[in-house]
Homo-oligomer: A and B are copies of this chain.
Amino acid sequence: MKRIDSVKNPKVKQWKKLHKKKEREIAKTFLIEGFHLVEEALKVDGLVEEIIISENENIPANWKIDNATWYIVSDDVLKAISETETPQGVSAVCQFQSNNESMLTKSSKVLMLDNVQDPGNVGTMIRTAEAAGIDTIVLGDGTADLYNGKVVRATQGAIFHVPIIRENLQTWIEKCKEIGIPVYGTALENGMPYTDVKPTTSFALLVGNEGQGVAKEYLSKTDKNLYIPIYGKSESLNVGIAAGILMYYLRT
Protein backbone atom coordinates (compact mmCIF):
# COMPACT_ATOMS: atom_id res chain seq x y z
CA MET A 1 0.00 0.00 0.00
CA LYS A 2 1.32 3.38 -1.01
CA ARG A 3 0.31 6.90 -0.17
CA ILE A 4 0.09 9.85 -2.60
CA ASP A 5 -0.97 13.31 -1.46
CA SER A 6 0.32 15.59 -4.20
CA VAL A 7 -1.26 15.97 -7.62
CA LYS A 8 2.29 16.56 -8.88
CA ASN A 9 3.34 13.00 -8.16
CA PRO A 10 4.51 11.35 -11.42
CA LYS A 11 2.07 8.51 -10.80
CA VAL A 12 -0.82 10.98 -10.98
CA LYS A 13 0.44 12.25 -14.32
CA GLN A 14 0.62 8.66 -15.55
CA TRP A 15 -2.99 7.98 -14.52
CA LYS A 16 -4.23 11.16 -16.16
CA LYS A 17 -2.65 10.09 -19.43
CA LEU A 18 -5.16 7.27 -19.58
CA HIS A 19 -7.89 9.80 -20.37
CA LYS A 20 -6.49 9.74 -23.92
CA LYS A 21 -7.13 6.90 -26.30
CA LYS A 22 -3.60 7.01 -27.73
CA GLU A 23 -2.06 6.59 -24.29
CA ARG A 24 -4.44 3.78 -23.40
CA GLU A 25 -3.44 1.90 -26.53
CA ILE A 26 0.23 2.20 -25.55
CA ALA A 27 -0.29 1.19 -21.92
CA LYS A 28 -3.00 -1.39 -22.73
CA THR A 29 -4.78 -0.21 -19.60
CA PHE A 30 -7.74 2.04 -18.81
CA LEU A 31 -9.14 3.91 -15.82
CA ILE A 32 -12.44 3.18 -14.12
CA GLU A 33 -14.21 5.13 -11.35
CA GLY A 34 -16.62 4.33 -8.58
CA PHE A 35 -17.25 1.52 -6.11
CA HIS A 36 -19.68 -0.34 -8.33
CA LEU A 37 -17.38 -0.47 -11.36
CA VAL A 38 -14.30 -1.39 -9.34
CA GLU A 39 -16.24 -4.15 -7.58
CA GLU A 40 -17.39 -5.54 -10.93
CA ALA A 41 -13.83 -5.40 -12.32
CA LEU A 42 -12.46 -7.24 -9.28
CA LYS A 43 -14.76 -10.17 -10.08
CA VAL A 44 -12.58 -10.86 -13.12
CA ASP A 45 -9.24 -12.46 -12.21
CA GLY A 46 -6.15 -10.42 -12.93
CA LEU A 47 -7.97 -7.49 -14.49
CA VAL A 48 -7.32 -4.80 -11.89
CA GLU A 49 -3.70 -3.64 -11.65
CA GLU A 50 -4.02 -0.67 -9.32
CA ILE A 51 -6.68 0.57 -6.94
CA ILE A 52 -6.69 4.25 -6.01
CA ILE A 53 -8.82 5.07 -2.98
CA SER A 54 -9.57 8.28 -1.12
CA GLU A 55 -8.10 8.64 2.38
CA ASN A 56 -11.69 9.33 3.46
CA GLU A 57 -13.08 6.04 2.22
CA ASN A 58 -12.94 2.49 3.49
CA ILE A 59 -12.03 -0.59 1.52
CA PRO A 60 -15.08 -2.86 1.31
CA ALA A 61 -14.29 -6.04 3.21
CA ASN A 62 -15.48 -8.36 0.46
CA TRP A 63 -13.10 -7.08 -2.21
CA LYS A 64 -10.51 -9.59 -3.45
CA ILE A 65 -7.51 -7.33 -3.53
CA ASP A 66 -4.55 -9.71 -3.56
CA ASN A 67 -3.27 -8.99 -7.06
CA ALA A 68 -3.69 -5.24 -7.16
CA THR A 69 -1.40 -2.50 -5.90
CA TRP A 70 -3.18 -0.10 -3.54
CA TYR A 71 -2.81 3.65 -3.36
CA ILE A 72 -4.33 5.76 -0.61
CA VAL A 73 -4.67 9.27 -2.01
CA SER A 74 -5.91 12.74 -1.12
CA ASP A 75 -9.25 13.84 -2.57
CA ASP A 76 -7.28 16.32 -4.69
CA VAL A 77 -5.49 13.45 -6.39
CA LEU A 78 -8.74 11.60 -6.96
CA LYS A 79 -10.28 14.71 -8.42
CA ALA A 80 -7.30 15.21 -10.72
CA ILE A 81 -7.61 11.76 -12.26
CA SER A 82 -11.41 11.73 -12.37
CA GLU A 83 -13.38 12.45 -15.53
CA THR A 84 -16.63 13.10 -13.67
CA GLU A 85 -17.75 16.20 -11.84
CA THR A 86 -18.10 14.45 -8.51
CA PRO A 87 -15.39 11.80 -8.04
CA GLN A 88 -16.70 8.60 -6.46
CA GLY A 89 -13.96 8.00 -3.87
CA VAL A 90 -12.25 5.19 -5.72
CA SER A 91 -10.66 4.58 -9.12
CA ALA A 92 -8.74 1.68 -10.62
CA VAL A 93 -6.41 0.90 -13.47
CA CYS A 94 -7.54 -2.15 -15.45
CA GLN A 95 -5.93 -4.17 -18.19
CA PHE A 96 -7.61 -4.25 -21.57
CA GLN A 97 -10.14 -7.07 -21.76
CA SER A 98 -8.44 -10.38 -22.41
CA ASN A 99 -11.68 -12.27 -23.01
CA ASN A 100 -12.03 -10.67 -26.40
CA GLU A 101 -11.97 -13.97 -28.22
CA SER A 102 -15.52 -15.05 -28.77
CA MET A 103 -16.40 -18.71 -28.98
CA LEU A 104 -18.80 -18.31 -31.87
CA THR A 105 -21.20 -21.25 -32.14
CA LYS A 106 -24.39 -22.01 -34.01
CA SER A 107 -26.38 -20.78 -31.02
CA SER A 108 -24.51 -17.51 -30.48
CA LYS A 109 -26.24 -14.19 -30.06
CA VAL A 110 -24.18 -11.35 -31.50
CA LEU A 111 -24.51 -7.56 -31.46
CA MET A 112 -22.50 -5.57 -34.01
CA LEU A 113 -22.06 -1.80 -33.89
CA ASP A 114 -21.20 0.07 -37.06
CA ASN A 115 -19.80 3.55 -36.50
CA VAL A 116 -21.84 4.33 -33.37
CA GLN A 117 -20.22 7.52 -32.20
CA ASP A 118 -21.84 8.55 -28.94
CA PRO A 119 -20.00 6.95 -26.00
CA GLY A 120 -23.20 6.87 -23.93
CA ASN A 121 -24.98 4.95 -26.67
CA VAL A 122 -22.14 2.45 -27.01
CA GLY A 123 -21.93 1.89 -23.24
CA THR A 124 -25.67 1.55 -22.82
CA MET A 125 -25.85 -0.96 -25.65
CA ILE A 126 -23.13 -3.06 -24.06
CA ARG A 127 -25.09 -2.99 -20.78
CA THR A 128 -28.35 -3.95 -22.51
CA ALA A 129 -26.70 -6.63 -24.64
CA GLU A 130 -25.11 -8.32 -21.63
CA ALA A 131 -28.47 -8.24 -19.84
CA ALA A 132 -30.23 -9.68 -22.88
CA GLY A 133 -27.85 -12.63 -22.96
CA ILE A 134 -25.82 -11.55 -25.98
CA ASP A 135 -22.56 -13.54 -25.96
CA THR A 136 -20.42 -11.52 -28.36
CA ILE A 137 -20.29 -7.79 -29.11
CA VAL A 138 -18.34 -6.57 -32.12
CA LEU A 139 -17.35 -2.90 -32.36
CA GLY A 140 -16.72 -1.96 -35.98
CA ASP A 141 -14.77 0.95 -37.44
CA GLY A 142 -15.75 4.42 -36.30
CA THR A 143 -17.42 3.23 -33.12
CA ALA A 144 -16.51 5.10 -29.92
CA ASP A 145 -13.49 3.66 -28.12
CA LEU A 146 -14.45 0.85 -25.75
CA TYR A 147 -12.14 2.18 -23.03
CA ASN A 148 -13.39 5.77 -23.19
CA GLY A 149 -14.48 6.77 -19.67
CA LYS A 150 -18.05 7.54 -20.72
CA VAL A 151 -18.42 4.21 -22.50
CA VAL A 152 -17.12 2.30 -19.49
CA ARG A 153 -19.37 4.17 -17.05
CA ALA A 154 -22.46 3.66 -19.21
CA THR A 155 -21.84 -0.11 -19.32
CA GLN A 156 -22.31 -0.13 -15.51
CA GLY A 157 -19.79 -2.99 -15.37
CA ALA A 158 -21.20 -5.10 -18.20
CA ILE A 159 -17.92 -4.42 -20.03
CA PHE A 160 -16.33 -6.98 -17.67
CA HIS A 161 -18.88 -9.71 -18.30
CA VAL A 162 -19.22 -10.11 -22.07
CA PRO A 163 -16.61 -10.66 -24.80
CA ILE A 164 -16.20 -7.44 -26.78
CA ILE A 165 -14.22 -7.51 -29.99
CA ARG A 166 -12.92 -4.58 -31.99
CA GLU A 167 -12.79 -5.78 -35.58
CA ASN A 168 -13.97 -5.28 -39.12
CA LEU A 169 -17.68 -5.99 -39.46
CA GLN A 170 -17.46 -7.44 -42.98
CA THR A 171 -15.41 -10.32 -41.58
CA TRP A 172 -17.91 -10.86 -38.78
CA ILE A 173 -20.99 -10.82 -40.98
CA GLU A 174 -19.34 -13.53 -43.07
CA LYS A 175 -18.28 -15.54 -39.99
CA CYS A 176 -21.84 -15.53 -38.67
CA LYS A 177 -23.38 -16.48 -42.00
CA GLU A 178 -20.91 -19.33 -42.53
CA ILE A 179 -21.82 -20.87 -39.20
CA GLY A 180 -25.55 -20.51 -39.87
CA ILE A 181 -26.41 -17.55 -37.63
CA PRO A 182 -29.03 -15.30 -39.26
CA VAL A 183 -27.71 -11.77 -39.65
CA TYR A 184 -30.21 -8.93 -39.26
CA GLY A 185 -29.34 -5.41 -40.27
CA THR A 186 -31.39 -2.37 -39.28
CA ALA A 187 -32.58 0.06 -41.93
CA LEU A 188 -35.45 2.51 -42.29
CA GLU A 189 -35.61 1.88 -46.05
CA ASN A 190 -36.06 -1.43 -47.84
CA GLY A 191 -36.44 -3.30 -44.60
CA MET A 192 -39.26 -5.30 -43.02
CA PRO A 193 -41.01 -4.69 -39.69
CA TYR A 194 -39.03 -6.54 -37.02
CA THR A 195 -42.11 -8.45 -35.91
CA ASP A 196 -42.13 -10.18 -39.32
CA VAL A 197 -39.19 -12.34 -38.22
CA LYS A 198 -39.60 -14.98 -35.55
CA PRO A 199 -37.48 -14.95 -32.39
CA THR A 200 -34.63 -17.45 -32.70
CA THR A 201 -31.99 -19.12 -30.55
CA SER A 202 -29.20 -17.43 -32.44
CA PHE A 203 -28.95 -14.17 -34.30
CA ALA A 204 -26.54 -11.41 -35.17
CA LEU A 205 -27.99 -7.92 -34.95
CA LEU A 206 -26.26 -5.04 -36.71
CA VAL A 207 -27.03 -1.46 -35.69
CA GLY A 208 -25.43 1.70 -37.00
CA ASN A 209 -24.45 5.32 -36.79
CA GLU A 210 -26.78 7.81 -35.05
CA GLY A 211 -27.32 9.85 -38.21
CA GLN A 212 -26.60 7.59 -41.18
CA GLY A 213 -27.59 4.20 -39.80
CA VAL A 214 -25.77 1.08 -40.97
CA ALA A 215 -23.44 1.46 -43.98
CA LYS A 216 -24.96 0.19 -47.24
CA GLU A 217 -22.03 -2.12 -47.89
CA TYR A 218 -23.00 -4.07 -44.77
CA LEU A 219 -26.77 -3.96 -45.33
CA SER A 220 -26.29 -5.66 -48.69
CA LYS A 221 -24.57 -8.58 -46.95
CA THR A 222 -27.18 -9.33 -44.26
CA ASP A 223 -29.91 -11.96 -44.43
CA LYS A 224 -32.67 -9.49 -43.66
CA ASN A 225 -32.91 -5.84 -42.72
CA LEU A 226 -35.41 -4.85 -40.06
CA TYR A 227 -37.06 -1.65 -38.98
CA ILE A 228 -39.10 -0.66 -35.94
CA PRO A 229 -42.39 0.94 -36.99
CA ILE A 230 -42.89 4.55 -35.91
CA TYR A 231 -46.50 5.23 -34.91
CA GLY A 232 -45.97 8.94 -34.16
CA LYS A 233 -44.30 11.88 -35.89
CA SER A 234 -40.75 11.13 -34.76
CA GLU A 235 -38.35 10.26 -37.53
CA SER A 236 -36.47 7.59 -35.67
CA LEU A 237 -35.62 6.04 -32.33
CA ASN A 238 -32.39 6.48 -30.40
CA VAL A 239 -30.05 3.70 -31.56
CA GLY A 240 -29.63 2.35 -28.02
CA ILE A 241 -33.38 2.10 -27.56
CA ALA A 242 -33.83 0.47 -30.97
CA ALA A 243 -31.12 -2.10 -30.20
CA GLY A 244 -32.76 -2.86 -26.83
CA ILE A 245 -36.19 -3.45 -28.37
CA LEU A 246 -34.72 -5.68 -31.09
CA MET A 247 -32.42 -7.74 -28.85
CA TYR A 248 -35.21 -8.51 -26.40
CA TYR A 249 -37.66 -9.26 -29.19
CA LEU A 250 -35.30 -11.53 -31.13
CA ARG A 251 -34.29 -13.56 -28.08
CA THR A 252 -37.75 -14.03 -26.60
Contact = CB atoms under 8 A, between A and B. Distances in A.
Q: Which 6 A-B pairs have the closest CB atoms?
A: A133-B231, A241-B244, A130-B232, A131-B234, A161-B233, A131-B230
Contact of A241 (B133, B232, B241): B241
Nearest to A230: B131
A250 to B, nearest CB: 12
A149 to B, nearest CB: 17
Contacts of A231: 131-133, 251
A108 B182 CA distance: 37
A82 interface: no
Contacts of A162: 232
Nearest to A135: B232
Contact of A234 (B161, B240, B248): B161
Contact of A232 (B120, B161, B228, B244): B161
Contacts of A161: 232-234
A140 interface: no
Q: Interface size bucket, A side?
A: 20 to 34
Interface in A214-252: 228, 230-238, 240-242, 244-245, 248-249, 251-252
A102 interface: no
A158 B241 contact: no
Given A130-B234, A156-B235, A157-B233, 16 more contacts: A120-B120, A124-B238, A127-B234, A127-B238, A128-B238, A130-B232, A130-B233, A131-B231, A131-B236, A132-B231, A156-B234, A158-B233, A195-B252, A244-B245, A248-B249, A249-B249
Nearest to A252: B195
Interface string A62-86: 0000000000000000000000000
B241 A124 contact: yes
A123 to B, nearest CB: 9
